[in-house]
Structure 1
Amino acid sequence: MPGDRVTVSLDEDAKNALEGLTEQTDESRSEVIREAIAFYAANFDSARASDSDHLQTYYEMLSTGEHVLLDVDLLHAFLNQVAGPEDRDGEFLDTIDQVAGYHASEYAERFDSLEDVLDWLSLCGFLTVRRAEAGSYHVVFPSEQLRWFMVRFIRGSVVDLPFEVEIEESVSKVLFTERELDDGSGSRAE
């Protein structure tokens, strides 16, 4: 294939990546590099966009098998089955609390502030968050069903964080406020 020649110095990571790709694809190093350049050119805007960090996070979430993509209408269909308090089976509520408890220990290792937790849940698509004042956040949910579900989840998932979370529900939004612990014993959502 006639064309311009380019000499490139590879660091150890790039060298290992190139070797791995040539083994996986059974293609020449030149072909792998040409395909990589074409792919990068086609995806340049996405790779350079400010949301590219989000794309990497989404990739990591999905590739571990711990998270799935779920159509929002399907999520609402599930939650509509438990729309009213009388429809909420105790076993279902216990399962939500169990999942929240698991996440509480994960969040205690991962997050240092309520803002970090809410930003994470916003990234996951469950809510929209707007900072109200230092330590306070207005949170809007796409539906009433998602609101009760996520407020319950958040109450259970922040209990191991080093602060209290005060939760005030209004008509269309919820105010979450991070408060210092009085006794230093762990957090709780009120």
Structure 2
Amino acid sequence: MTDRVTVSLDDDSRAALEALLSETGGGQSAVIRRALTFYAANFEAAETDVSADLQQYHRLLSTGEHVLLDVDFLHCFLDHVYREGEPDPEFRTAADRVADFHAAEYAERFSELGEVLEWLSLCGFLTVRGVENGAYHVVFPSEPTKRFMLRFIERSTAELPFELAIEEGVAKALLSEELDE
């Protein structure tokens, strides 16, 4: 038995339906059935805060500017680069160029340290454990990651309207803003 449903479409849903019809070459009923099935299967992701993260991940990955990297590979790379205690000078120069490029991007995009840390947390390089009296408690997965990321954060926030204050621990650090005067 087939159930019939009448749906009122607003401009956005009408445009979405027309785009899907054009893209798939299917009929309205088939497209609506597939859309409902997909939505039901992905309801939790579509309706939770995780959805915002998924949208960010999609944006990061779909441009080709970022890649997924297994955390073990990250540790292998950084352990190799920091093998003698100090990073390889060529690596440091290249990483500094990347950080300096991001400084210009971040100057247009962020105004507070917390925004930068939230973004880097999304990328998986660190975890912000809390904020206390304006200081962010930041945990890193390893000592080389901490050293690498603290240098990156220092350089990439250079054009933001504050000075960065850092108190280092073994695997974590306290980061805070000192406002420019």
TM-score under structure 1 normalisation?
0.90
Q: Match of 1:109, as an amino acid?
A: E
Identify the residue that residue 127 of structure 2 maps to in structure 1.
Answer: 128
1:1-190 paired onto structure 2 within 5 Å = 2-84=1-83, 88-182=87-181
Cα distance in 2, alignment partners of residues 95 and 132 from structure 1: 32
Shift of 1:87: 5.6
Matched-pair contact (CA < 8 Å) for 1:167–1:175 = yes
Structure 2 CA distance for partners of 1:90 and 1:141, relative to 1, 3 Å: same
* Alpha-carbon contact 2:138-2:175 (below 8 Å) kept: yes
Q: Which amino acid aligns with 2:104?
A: S
Secondary structure of the structure 2 residue equivalent to 1:81: helix
Q: Is the 8 A contact 2:143 2:170 kept in 1?
A: no
Once the two structures are superposed, residues 77-119 of structure 1 have per-residue CA deviations (whole angstroms, 9 ceiling, x without a partner) of 1111112455622221111111101111111111121011111
> 1:166 is matched by which residue type in structure 2?
A
* Structure 1 gaps, min length 5: 183-190
Q: Secondary structure at the match of 2:81?
A: coil
Return closer, same or farther for 1:85/1:112 CA change in 2, 3 Å cut-off: farther
C-alpha deviation, 1:8, in angstroms: 1.3
TM-score (norm 2): 0.94
**SS of residue in 2 equivalent to 1:9:** coil
Provide the aligned length of Structure 1 versus Structure 2: 181
User: How much does 1:133 deviate?
Assistant: 2.0
Give, as a single letter, the amino acid of the residue that structure 2 aligns with 1:62: L
Counterpart contact for 1:81–1:87, Cα < 8 Å: no
Q: Which moved more, 1:161-170 or 1:126-135?
A: 126-135
Taking structure 1 as reference, are residues 55 and 92 closer, same or farther at Cα in structure 2, changes over 3 Å only? same
Measure the CA separation in 2 of the matches of 1:17 and 1:132.
41
- Quick one: which amino acid aligns to residue 56 of structure 1? Q
Contact residue 22 and residue 32 of structure 1 kept, 8 A: yes
CA distance in 2, matches of 1:149, 1:85: 14
Deviates more, 1:117-126 or 1:11-20: 11-20
